[in-house]
Amino acid sequence: MINTGNTVLQGDGVLSSCTKRQGHCGYACCKFSEGNWIMLLPGEYELAAKQNLKLDHLSFENNSHAVCHVPCQKGDLKPIDCSWYPLFPANLEATKFLVADHRKCPIPNHELIDKMWSVYTSVLAWEQKHQGSLEQIVGLSRDFVGYMPFPYKIENGLVVDMTMQDLEDIGLPIELPKDYVCKEWTVISLGYSATITPDDEK
Ligand code: SF4
Ligand code: SF4
């Protein structure tokens, strides 16, 4: 979204690769009809309350699980998970990531490399302040549905391709069905699979 809420880190995570595709995806990541949910980081709820960010657009199962009912706006809490989307940390070093199934989020992987660095930086900073966060984040993410392993990782300060073994190591137990079609998308397009978009580099 363009007019979005604020994270407790005073950012919003908006990226141009997302805004130019929002007419296509119908904001699929902000719709919660398929059992998906938002993960709040340890301490995030408490910090949001302290910062007087509004929480009325969200409902909470507990301090780590939320769903969203109406689009967030300036002054509302935008959970850090939302600002990271479509990426999510997948290992305790935060060097490997999950990415949303591209039949939900049409942003191609190569346009997400800068975002990978920003998620890496922000989750490591969060871990410094809230020790044990990464363990909880990675553990809870194993229940995610609609995410795949991101094909790039960070190694020795560089971006490199994930190996087959890496991809296997962080693969999730549940994937969207092979014939999945996102009903939020406003344009029916060919060329999208769980891992590839038509904009991916050939
Ligand atoms: S689904 Fe992807 S492209 Fe669409 S609004 Fe969400 S992040 Fe942006
Ligand atoms: S809080 Fe709701 S509307 Fe805002 S980015 Fe997250 S899911 Fe979307």
Residue pLDDT, tens place only, 43-94: 999 999 999 999 999 999 888 999 999 999 999 999 999 999 999 999 999 9
Residue nearest to atom 1 of ligand 1 (CA): 105
Query: Rounded distance, CA 113 to CA 110, Å?
Result: 6
Q: Is residue 193 part of a domain?
A: no
Q: Is residue 8 part of a domain?
A: no
- Give CA separation, 174 vs 35, 145, 151, 157, in Å: 13, 6, 18, 31
Residue 67 identity (one-letter amino acid): V
- Nearest C-alpha neighbor of 21 from the set 33, 12, 29: 29
Which of ligand 2's atoms lies nearest the C-alpha of 81? Answer: 6
Q: Is residue 164 part of a domain?
A: yes
| 76: Cβ contacts below 8 Å, ≥ 6 apart | 5, 6, 53, 54, 55, 56, 57
Which of ligand 1's atoms lies nearest the C-alpha of 107? Answer: 3
Q: Is residue 38 part of a domain?
A: yes
Q: Please give the pLDDT value at position 114.
A: 96
Q: Is residue 158 part of a domain?
A: yes
Q: Is residue 127 part of a domain?
A: yes
Structural domain range at position 93: 16-170
Number of domains the chain contains? 1
Q: Is residue 135 part of a domain?
A: yes
Q: Which two tokens stand for residue 134?
A: 């990464």
Q: Is residue 181 part of a domain?
A: no
Q: How far is the CA of 83 from the centre of ligand 2 (A)?
A: 9
